[in-house]
Structure 1
Amino acid sequence: MLGAVRGYVRAVDAVNYRIGRIVMYGIFVLMGILLWSSVSKTFFVPSLWTLELAQFAMVAYYVLGGPYAIQMGSNVRMDLLYGGWSLRRKAWADLITVLFLIFYLGVMLYGALGSTAYSLGYWGSEPLSFFAGLVTGSEEVGRMEQSPSAWRPYLWPIKAVMALGLFLMLLQCLSELGKDVLRLKGEAV
């Protein structure tokens, strides 16, 4: 059992580490978009797409970088009490709090899947069956949602990225739960 937990932790950590290292360079993409926005407003006709694309890039950067931040422990903590605790007590506190985070991310993921299904033209109340139907061919993509801006991009790509990021965060939180269990069992992590 502990071997399976160790294998899961290694696999999820490896995937999220690689994705996080790639996504971390997305800040340069965002800087390039905003630089072009400034240049085009100053010297040319202002681009309609730059600020909305910058928002999409920031969402992707933040959501896909979240699992990496959780893995590296670079999220904000209140170390008022936590910093002085033993490793075992920290593991218990982390185990309890990560359960709340897993529940929260599960609810957020379900909402993100519903929003993504809506952006693909599904107006029902069962987004999971819609995606299963897309895979099997029993469902079709309907009228896709577009942004109300002048640029009018389709919204499903960024909503799919948000759902993917939440899914990866959920996997990383389960990995952190596994690490806490291993620490409580006295195993090296």
Structure 2
Amino acid sequence: MDFIKKIVFYPKMAARYLAGIFLRFFYGLFVVSSKFLLIILGIVISLALLSYNTLDTSLNTASENTPSNIIGLPGSYVSDLLIQLFGASSLFLTVSLIIWGIYLLIRKNKPFWSTLFIFLVSFSILTLSFQIIYEEGGLLGYFIFYKIEPFFEFLFGPNQEINGTNFTPQGIIYFFICISALALSNY
């Protein structure tokens, strides 16, 4: 009777062991591919933003012509949405995605959610640096800037104009504060 239990038990144990090996393999494959996906996504969005044309078909523009965007119709939609929301700082988003993907490939076992939160906060603060809507700062920068502009003027004085653009150095200062917090969160 004991012999029969061993015969039945060993295949179950072997199946659990093989399932564990396969799960670890596919999890590792998923982790590595997600890091490469961040890099590829950053490059594709960069190409879409660099070939952005205001006359392409997008959320606010209807056109019968084929889009001149390198990525095509999805690229024109994505670039239009990012330019409207974040403005020129959307290029920082793509560079950050590429750098973040490379960083994750090089280093292991870093806290993901805290890093993502600090990245999003610092990126939204970067949009404070520019205030012209749909141009440099985007819609997010416009709303955040005008909600806290009186507080900035109280602390740092009036804004400065550089090349016809009303520029707040506070946004860059707070961006670097958040980036340093991001660096400290990884150690």
Q: TM-score, normalised by structure 2?
A: 0.29
> Which is greater in Rg?
2
Instruction: Normalising by structure 1, report the TM-score.
Output: 0.29
